[in-house]
Amino acid sequence: MICYEPIGTIYSPFTTPEGMPIQPAGAKDVQGRVEVRPAYEEGLHDLEGFSHIFLVYHFHKVDGFDLTVTPFLDNKPHGLFSTRAPRRPNPVGLSVVRLLSRKENILYIEGVDVLDGTPLLDVKPYAPEFDAPGSVRTGWMEKAKRNVEEQRADNRFK
C-alpha cells in the first residue's frame, strides 16, 4: 500500500466537474491559488523564479475506472493510458500552470483546470529543457488537439 499525505489544496472557480476546461490550454485566463500547508512553506523558496509549475494532485471526486474510455476529445474508445481521463487506477492528476506570484505559503496561479478544493500532492518547477522533448508523436490526439481549448468536461467520468 502506498499512501500520500496532501501538502496543500488547490482552489479554483470550478465547483463541479461539468463545464470545466479539460486541460490548462482551455483555461488560459482562469486564475486560482494553491495553499501549501505552512509546514511545507520553506520548500517553496526560490519557486517564484519560475514562470510555470507542475501541480501533482489527487482526483478526489472520481471513483473507479475503466480500462477503455471515450475521452472528451474523441467519440471513439481508447485505452485508458492513452488518454487523460480522470478516472484511473491511481487517480493522480498533473497540470502545468503559470505561477503569477507567491506570498508566503500561497501560490497564485493562472491556467488552472482543476476542481476547487483538490488535494495537492506535489509542486515541481517546469523547465522546457527537461520537460519539452523536441520531436513528439501524439497518437490519436493529433486530430483532436485543435479542439482542446474549447472542449469542456461533461459527466462521463463521474
pLDDT top residue among 153 and 25: 25
Whose CA is closest to 35, among 90, 103, 137, 85?
A: 103
Contacts of 153 (CB under 8 A, 6+ apart): 17, 18, 19, 20, 21, 22, 72
Residue 146: predicted pLDDT: 59
Lowest mean pLDDT among 35-49, 94-108, 122-136: 122-136
Integer CA distances (angstroms), 103 to 13, 46, 82, 99, 111, in order: 20, 12, 37, 11, 18
pLDDT (0 to 100) of residue 128: 85
Print the domain residue range for 59. 8-147
> Is 115 contained in some domain?
yes
Task: Report pLDDT digits (tens) over 44-84.
Answer: 999 999 999 999 999 998 889 999 998 877 889 999 999 88
Q: Please count the structural domains in the chain.
A: 1
**Is 157 inside any structural domain?**
no
Q: Percent of the chain at pLDDT above 90?
A: 60
List the beta strands (DSSP E) in 12-151. 31-36, 52-58, 68-69, 78-79, 92-103, 106-110, 118-125
90-113 pLDDT tens trace: 999 999 999 999 999 999 999 999
Residue 94 lies in a domain: yes
